[in-house]
Amino acid sequence: MPSFITRDELRSAIDGDAVIVIDARPPAPYGERHLPGAVNLADEDVEARIDEVLPDNAVTIVTYSTDIDCARGPALAERLTALGYSDVRTYREGIENWIGAGFSVERPGAVKLDLAELATSPTAALFEGHRRAGVDISIFVVRTPLARAVDLHVHPYAETFLLLEGRGRWTLGDEVAELGPEQMLVVPRDTPHGFRNIGQVPLLVVSVHASGTLRQTWTGGEPA
């Protein structure tokens, strides 16, 4: 059982910049509003995500979720403690209690980002809208080298591709489509798809996901 922190204690800690506040709710409600300075980390997140958000296991951490009936904040606090974080508490009354007291929350505003901040590999960058800006889309920017491919996978939402440079061949279900510069392709939800560079220069592809959080399942196999 995690230890608890009161609303007023948490407010003092936030004002004194003496705590890392973790919003344990799913990304969508976090993006709509959250406690000042809070970062989003859900109990479902993999340990690599936890390490990214909390590289120092000696810092003071407070988790919270929706209200006293929501178990997400305490559950995440227990998980962090089990992972070796030494000073973890939870604000069990949650954001509804905070708002009810008339305290301020942060809401989406203008967000400026560099692709370098979003890089997931030397050839790809990912913007997840919920976590980054409180919006319900995600965007991949991919540079696919000559003769290379992105293997077949599916999403539980539609994905729209815009090819800016190069020439590529997409497999989507039983169909095959070739694209050149400044052409677009919409892939319906739950459709296995992938693409291959068939041109003479690296592909520059922007893909828009109809979800603020990336949800992707690799199905195995290469595109045509």
Residue 39 and residue 53 in contact, taking contact as beta carbons nearer than 8 Å: yes
pLDDT of residue 42: 83
Say whether pLDDT at 161 is over 80: yes
Chain position carrying tokens 């009354």: 93
In angstroms, the CA 222 to CA 102 distance is 54
pLDDT of residue 1: 73
CATH class of 115-218: mainly beta
- Tell me the pLDDT of the chain averaged across its residues: 94
- Sheet of strand 149-154: strand arrangement: 175-179, 168-172, 193-197, 149-154, 217-218
Say whether pLDDT at 57 is over 80: yes
Say whether pLDDT at 52 is over 90: no
Q: Which has the minimum average pLDDT: 46-55, 115-124, 214-223?
A: 46-55
More confident residue, 130 or 92: 92
More confident residue, 177 or 134: 177
User: pLDDT band for position 213 (50/70/90)?
Assistant: confident
**Mean pLDDT (whole number) for 84-104:** 97
End-to-end CA distance of the chain: 53
pLDDT of residue 132: 84
pLDDT of residue 46: 78
**100-157 residue pLDDT tens:** 999 999 987 888 999 999 999 999 999 998 878 878 899 999 999 999 999 999 999 9
- In the chain, pLDDT over 70 holds for what percent of residues? 100
Instruction: Name the nearest CA neighbour of 165 among 191, 202, 190, 192.
Output: 202
The percent of the chain in helix, strand and coil, each rounded to the nearest 5, is 20, 35, 45
User: pLDDT band for position 173 (50/70/90)?
Assistant: very high
Chain position carrying tokens 């009936």: 69
pLDDT of residue 68: 96
Tokens of 164: 């800016």
**Mean pLDDT (whole number) for 198-216:** 94
pLDDT of residue 28: 81
Give the domain ranges of the chain: 3-100, 115-218
pLDDT of residue 212: 86
- Sheet of strand 3-4: strand arrangement: 3-4, 87-91, 60-64, 20-23, 39-40
DSSP 178-192: EE-TTEEEEE-TT--
pLDDT of residue 108: 79
Phi and psi torsions of 116, nearest 5°: -60, -30
Instruction: Name the nearest CA neighbour of 139 among 120, 166, 165.
Output: 120
Residue 61 and residue 78 in contact, taking contact as beta carbons nearer than 8 Å: no
Say whether pLDDT at 27 is over 90: no
Residue 129 and residue 140 in contact, taking contact as beta carbons nearer than 8 Å: no
Phi and psi torsions of 8, nearest 5°: -70, -35
In angstroms, the CA 189 to CA 68 distance is 36
Count of residues making up the chain:
224
Q: Does domain 3-100 have CATH number 3.90.1200.10?
A: no
- Beta-sheet pairing, 60-64 with 193-197: unpaired
pLDDT of residue 64: 98
